[in-house]
Structure 1
Amino acid sequence: MPTSLPNQATDGEGARTLSYAYKASLVSSAQQFELTDSGLSWRIGSRSGVWPYAEIASIRLSYRPMSMQTRRFRADIRKIGGGKIAIVSTSWQTVTLMTPQDQGYRAFITELHRRMKAAGSKASLAGGIGTVTYGAAVVMLALLAIAMVGLLVRALATSEFTGALFLVGIAIWFAWTIGGFIKRNRPRRYTFDELPETLLP
């Protein structure tokens, strides 16, 4: 069962390890990760491996809310030569419960970056969603905003004040949820020394 806090341990040679686990779905087994002297060790179902820190090609941090959990963050990690794993800040517990693991996730991701820097990593570090996806999302948001303004003007012109009030409520909710997603996921580059705070719990 995944824990919300990272586990620290010492192997036979005295090396400090840091572990993190989460369940990507209710029916799946926990995905387990460890930071060891050898690199990023992972186990997902029947698959497992160890990626040396210097062989990690890229990390992309993003904010990925779901209806079950609005505080959900994700790290997509790629290896030189192929391979990709994802680490998420929440874990499924029951059919209706997705538990945040803020402290454990933040500690694990921060330590991963520190060890990669110490190993001389040249990995590409990106924050937010892809530029094309972000641009499309901004355009859709703008179009929806124009449509809602048009409906609001029409409702006021026809004295449909109840409908106007409803549209205002929808606009506030939309700006809070979708606007927050767009703001946090602005495409950017970052460094090992300055991780984007808006993309960490």
Structure 2
Amino acid sequence: MPTTLQDRSEAGEGTAVRYAYKASLIGSAHQFELTEDGLSWRIAGRSGVWDYADISAVKLSYRPVSMQQQRFRADIDNAKGGRIAILSTTWQTATLVAPQGHLYRDFIVELHRRMQAAGSRARLVGGLGPKTYTAALALLACLAVAMIGLLLTALLTSNWMGALFLVGFAALFTWQVGGFVTRNRPRRYSFDQLPDALLPKADRNR
């Protein structure tokens, strides 16, 4: 079920809500804060405060990488042309990209709540762009046809090891790529119903 704005952080109405992550090992953390004045951000020596009503668009997406499968992203646009990105993971060491799922989720949900309270008319979208999504589906269809052809060839030639390998590869590919495509289906959403598929799972034990 989609996330509602009632599933927000426990912060009070006027309490600042903070979130930070490191996009790489080099450089300082990207820092964000939800204040009474708006969305405050500090990235690579630059900083600013965007009024919630001036945020023109929010795009949520699922962006897994090899080192961290549970990785989500929010792209936030300002009416004056600025854009900032917020990721749900942070670099800790050269080999560790750590998830910050519940912190990211709380921040994004609270951001939407404050935007709605400010009367925002921002465009709220999720997933890939329609053209990119269509191209991804076409590519997957071509790969599926090729895999089926190879599997039939392996079966007709009694190459059981090859067939077993293809089945295993297809299952792994479907699990990884299929989840990416399914989650990133293009969609519009509302302030009252954020897409759960594009947010980390809520931590019910907190």
Q: Same fold (TM over 0.5)?
A: yes
Q: Which residue of 2 aligns with 1:105?
A: 104
Aligned amino acid, residue 63 of structure 1: Y
Instruction: Establish whether residue 67 from structure 1 lines up as the match of residue 78 from structure 2.
Output: no
Q: Which residue of 2 aligns with 1:32?
A: 31
Q: Cα deviations across residues 59-83 of structure 1 (Å, max 9, x unaligned)?
A: 0000000000000000000000201
Written as runs of structure 1 = structure 2, the 5 A alignment for 1:45-194 is: 45-194=44-193
Offset, 1:29: 1.1
Aligned amino acid, residue 52 of structure 2: Y
Aligned amino acid, residue 92 of structure 1: W
Partner Cα distance (2:31, 2:58) in 1: 18
Q: How many residues align?
A: 192
Q: Secondary structure at the match of 2:97?
A: strand
CA contact (8 A) 1:76 1:84 kept: yes
Written as runs of structure 1 = structure 2, the 5 A alignment for 1:4-15 is: 15=14
Offset, 1:101: 0.1
Return the TM-score normalized by structure 1. Answer: 0.93
Q: Secondary structure at the match of 1:27?
A: coil
Offset, 1:182: 0.3
Partner Cα distance (1:96, 1:197) in 2: 28
Instruction: Establish whether residue 22 from structure 1 lines up as the match of residue 21 from structure 2.
Output: yes
Q: Cα deviations across residues 69-107 of structure 1 (Å, max 9, x unaligned)?
A: 000000000000201000000000011100000010000
RMSD: 1.5
CA contact (8 A) 1:7 1:20 kept: no
Q: Secondary structure at the match of 1:33?
A: strand
4+ runs of 1 displaced by more than 2 Å?
Answer: none
Aligned amino acid, residue 125 of structure 2: A
Stretches of structure 2 that go unaligned for 5 or more consecutive residues are 1-8, 201-206
Partner Cα distance (1:53, 1:192) in 2: 13
Q: Which residue of 2 aligns with 1:3?
A: none
Q: Which structure's relative contact order is higher, taking Cα pairs within 8 Å and 6+ residues apart? A: 2
Offset, 1:156: 0.6
Partner Cα distance (2:151, 2:127) in 1: 32
Partner Cα distance (2:78, 2:33) in 1: 16
Partner Cα distance (1:33, 1:23) in 2: 12
Aligned amino acid, residue 49 of structure 2: V
Offset, 1:28: 2.3
Q: Cα deviations across residues 133-160 of structure 1 (Å, max 9, x unaligned)?
A: 0000000001000000000000111111
Return the TM-score normalized by structure 2. Answer: 0.91
Partner Cα distance (2:128, 2:94) in 1: 28
Offset, 1:7: 11
Partner Cα distance (1:105, 1:81) in 2: 25
